[in-house]
Structure 1
């Protein structure tokens, strides 16, 4: 049976305090044993206090470290969110810059750089179907001289949109530079392309462009058309289209001419 420590201590103390046992030789031994026992208990209690203090310190340290760790995690998460937003904004800005670098700011059509990319792609994949239409607005300098550059800009925009609308799915339209436009036709049927080119000349000639201050401007276009021929490069296709445009202008303008070279 497990002894009752409290009861046992009480009995030992009663023996030590009873003067009747002062002359008993066992009393001195019991007194030393009691003193040793008390000292051991004090050591145990001190160790417990030290252990408890250490545990408290470690718990506080772990709590402090945990709080610091959580704080760092929150900071890293915040930095990550900021970085993600920055990267997204940077990608969007780059896309906008790329788009802007490939578009003509006046007409909203693809510019020369974008068209050269398109032309190379079409040449690499289906060059045998390529037909180029080089378009120039007739006597455009006269419009600028007579009505000013603002009116000239409005005419460029209107002509560009009408060309794009008329060409439709038959090809790609771009502002090539100045008052020139380039169409890369990729439609297989050459007759459909020639009908489209003829319609372009007619549509522009019949159009009445309502520009600034209610001014009505009429104009016309000349077109040079080149078809892919065996051995053609992109440069040779462009050169022949440009030569055909020159022939159309020399023949009286407001017409299209096909290069057969």
Structure 2
């Protein structure tokens, strides 16, 4: 490689620089065009070198090759590092680190990749280069999201978007909007993520950016997959597949085929899922993407389990788990461990199944706490930023009004009356706007605190209420987690619409059964929560047993499930001095797992170390819920794939 410190002639340097600019613009439209333009720029620079332009061109090639050929991408990184000795750009070191960080991420070495991206942000900040800083923040924000540091990742993404808008790079800003949607999806806010993806997709279609449409469609499909919206997910993955084939983009095609295989598995067509994964296998060989390989292995394991090929399924799932652990991808570890635990249980390997189930529960608890903590941190940041923006806006309005009034006074005294009238009208308008803002804020708060399907308070509302009681030093109360037994059979045998009807029916029974002082809401999936302020263990056990009986009495005839009643398992605990939200939830969760392990359709209480007497009272109070006879018509179905952050029923 030529490393002489020669200066390009103005004509050649300008032409090569223009090609690099066009290559960057083509990244979201057609990757092959971007690659060709970067290579043309390097051909020109071979005759009249310019280290700074060469660095930018090789950085674009590194980005292209990272998705296709890691060895070739590493060659570009080496050449970029050699150019540092003669580069005039202070941000050159950051550009090299971006290339190397992308390579490490593709390998699945997330910790090493994040370390390099941290250095890239630091170098870009010292060089005061907004473009490199925006690229580094975008990549760091995405990787932080993969590792679960969602609030920090969201802050990076928003800083990147602001810089792209400042640089008047709307296409990169649109791409960042999709990155923000990915973080909301990982945060558990699938509805918000879907909104962002659909908004981003509309802008990308208007701009004709085909490759970015492909990426957004795939991420939208993943969001719909997590929501259980299989028809819409299939539509998104199918459209992504067609765009990938149009672009001859092997990596995009492999991702789309994995998504379609997931839909087939969910719809009980594992043979079709395997066929799709086999079709994607050669493309994965061309794609150095460890997480894509692991996601495909997870779907292969699910399909093989449904086809009753347990040894092959276990091998695929273990391979997927090893890759997810290396990548620090906790959400995907949870899904894989849940599937593996179910498979080992079916094989009779109780010890291994228990170990994976315990690891699954520990990871699920960490993921849930992390999502709650990160969403709280994100909401706090958003609230503080919004408050500052509103305060600044009001200050600017006040200053403008004062300046206008003084100017009017200096011009003519006769206009004072007019100024007074205008000020009065402005005050009235601000009052109307403030009233509308408060009304809108209250409506938004109600929506944010309500579960859309059941109209009950949602997780955020209930956990906030529980936290308030614990902080306020209120008299001890009880927490019940109510989980539908074998809920999957309703979805499998009668479809998701019937499953939704069942959830609404159970919600109605819970709402009607508890006293007005109690609180009932949906925790997520098929889980509900009941808060009983100032209830002792005996009273809480009586309420729990009454709820269990009332749910079992629901008439399932309208759904064609005669003889197969709805049953619930209930975990019960008391809030004790020194408890926080996580402690109370964990004890109730442990009680729920004990109820499941004891045969379901029962109430189990778990108290803290504060009182052994409470434990004896709990056992006596729940005496009526001792092991029940087999329910007529009940069907024991195998557990399905564990969704991100969900619990097997």
TM-score (norm 2): 0.28
Hey, which of these two has a bigger chunk of helix by percent? 2
Q: What is the rounded CA distance, in whole Å, between the counterparts of 2:585 and 2:513 in structure 1?
A: 21
Across the aligned residues of Structure 1 and Structure 2, the Cα RMSD in angstroms comes to: 2.2
Is the 2:570–2:603 contact (alpha carbons within 8 Å) kept by the matching residues of 1?
A: yes
* Counterpart selection for 2:554 from 207, 221, 229: 207
1:98 aligned residue (441, 445, 452):
445
Q: Which residue of 1 aligns with 2:567?
A: 220
Give the direction of change, closer, same or farther, for the CA distance of 1:102–1:140 in structure 2 (3 Å limit). same
Q: Deviations over 1:143-189 (max 9, x none)?
A: 11112212211211221121122122352112111110111211334
Specify the SS of the correspondent of 1:133: strand
- CA 1:83–1:228 in structure 2 vs 1: closer, same or farther (change >3 Å)? closer
CA distance in 1, matches of 2:448, 2:491: 26
Q: CA deviation at 1:126?
A: 4.3
Alpha-carbon distance between aligned partners in 2 of 1:77 and 1:229, rounded to the nearest angstrom: 55
Contact 1:128–1:229 under 8 Å retained in 2: no
| Correspondence for 1:75 among 405, 422, 427 | 422
* CA deviation after TM superposition for structure 1 residue 81, in Å: 2.3
Matches within 5 A, 1:24-43: none
Paired with 1:167 and 1:140, the residues of 2 have a C-alpha distance of 23
Q: Deviations over 1:109-147 (max 9, x none)?
A: 111111111101211234552211111011111111112
Q: What is the CA–CA distance in structure 1 between the aligned matches of 2:589 and 2:487, rounded to whole Å?
A: 17
Cα distance, 1:235–1:75 mapped onto 2, change above 3 Å:
same
CA distance in 2, matches of 1:164, 1:187: 19
Contact 1:123–1:130 (8 Å) recurs in 2: no
- Closer, same or farther: CA 78–128 of 1 in aligned 2, 3 Å: closer
Aligned to 2:464: 117
1:129 to 2:129 alignment: no
Q: Is the 8 Å Cα contact of residues 477 and 536 (structure 2) preserved in structure 1? A: no
* Runs of 5+ unmatched residues, structure 2: 1-411, 609-649
1:174 corresponds in structure 2 to: 521
1:89 positional shift: 0.6
* Residue 243 (structure 1) aligned to one of 577, 587, 590: 590
Q: Spell out the pairing of 1:16-27 with structure 2 (5 A cutoff).
A: none
Summarize the Cα distance change of 1:246–1:97 in structure 2 as closer, same or farther, 3 Å threshold. Answer: same
8 A Cα contact 1:138 1:222, kept in partner: yes
3-state SS of paired residue (2:436): helix
Shift of 1:224: 0.5
Paired residue for 1:162?
509
For the 8 Å contact 2:477–2:533, the answer to whether it is kept is yes
The answer to which structure has the higher strand fraction is 1
| Alignment partners' CA distance in 1, 2:586 and 2:568 | 19
| Counterparts of 2:575 and 2:485, CA distance in 1 | 26
Distance in 2 between residues matched to 1:107 and 1:201, nearest whole Å: 19
Which structure has the higher relative contact order (CA within 8 Å, separation 6+)? 1
State the alpha-carbon separation in 1 of the partners of residues 473 and 507 from structure 2: 26
Which of residues 484, 491, 495 in structure 2 aligns to 1:144?
491
Q: Distance in 2 between matches of 1:147 and 1:188?
A: 38
Supply the distance in 1 between the matched residues of 2:417 and 2:607 (Cα, whole angstroms): 77
Contact 1:127 1:228 in 2 (8 A): no
Q: Which residue pairs with 1:51 in the alignment?
A: none
With over 3 angstroms needed to count, the CA separation of the structure-2 counterparts of 1:208 and 1:187, relative to structure 1, is farther
SS in 1 for 2:515: helix
The alignment of Structure 1 onto Structure 2 pairs a total of residues equal to 194
How far 1:209 sits from its partner (Å)?
Answer: 5.1
Deviation per CA, 1:68-124: give whole Å up to 9, x if none: 444333333333222221111111111111221111111111111111111012112
Contact 1:158 1:209 in 2 (8 A): no
Q: What secondary structure is seen at the aligned counterpart in 1 of 2:469?
A: helix
Maintained 8 Å contact 1:133/1:225: yes
User: Separation in 2 of the partners of 1:121 and 1:231?
Assistant: 14
Task: Give the whole-Å Cα distance in 1 for the aligned partners of 2:527 and 2:510.
Answer: 11
Distance 2:416 2:493 in 1: 75
Return the alpha-carbon distance in structure 1 between the equivalents of residues 515 and 581 of structure 2.
23
